[in-house]
Structure 1
Amino acid sequence: MEGERRVGVAIDFSPCSKQALRWAVENIVRDGDYLILVNVQPGGYYEGTEIQLWEASGSPLIPLTEFSNPAVMKKYGVKTDAEILDILNTVARQKEIVVVTKVFWGDPREKICEAIENIPLSCLVIGSRGLGKISRILLGSVSNHVVNTAACPVTVVKNTDHED
């Protein structure tokens, strides 16, 4: 991946992360890029020994063919989404890009920032749930933390489906 643009999209399969993926595909990703999905699963006890090995550094890069296979993704604790798979397969074919996924376990704020540095990513697109000020103070905002600490440009895509 040396010298290639590596466009990251933080994805948790929520409506706002799907919107961020659509935005990235339409506005940033160009022919020949690497599109790297960064998924963070909650930390905790897992039966799979692979997950215990990968907990600190994340999974290996998972190609789109494996990401499309529910049986393969089950060992990572990830349930794939048909809409996301459709978007990824279409963009991979149309723009001739390489699509891979990297799964992390733990706090999304920390793990997304680690992914940016360790992969390393050229830029990152992340969705925002559009929390109100009170919720953002109480729960913390993943996108806000990433914007303020990331080592690359970050684009936050607001959820337009959110009702105030």
Structure 2
Amino acid sequence: MNSYNKIAACLECGCGISSQVYDYSHDYFGIPLCMPHQKWVKQQELFSTVPAMSLYFALKERGVPAQLEKFDGYKHIDIAIPQAKVNIEVDGGHHNYSDKQALSDLKRTYYSFLKGYLTLRIPNSLVKYHLDETADHITEMLDVNRERVARTKSTFKRF
């Protein structure tokens, strides 16, 4: 791919990146990242699963202000979207097969719910086989919710 004279930006921070950095990042990560964020992604690989990172970057490509491995004071969330009050957990099969894990997940979802957050649980297999469709549906849900909140705020009467 010839990327000469191409102006590119880091998907994570939006800073401009050179053609050489773009080409390396695209070849290695599949997305444009500046050098500091390439290092950040390599560090994240120690804490985050490949499916969670794949979904995170698919959402970022769609303009979703997501955060990877956000700590909420109680636990790490795979993908958080604080502005929308949505947490996304990308779960492997063990979340379905172990009753202890399932109960732990339910409790985590409950505690997030008490703080006003919705938790979406996305199976690894959905990310692996239907990444784009999954990211599109999540983005659409966020858009619908944003419009719903805006309508509610515009009809709210102040005293």
Do the structures match in fold with TM over 0.5? Answer: no
- Greater Cα radius of gyration, structure 1 or 2: 2
> TM-score scaled by structure 1?
0.32
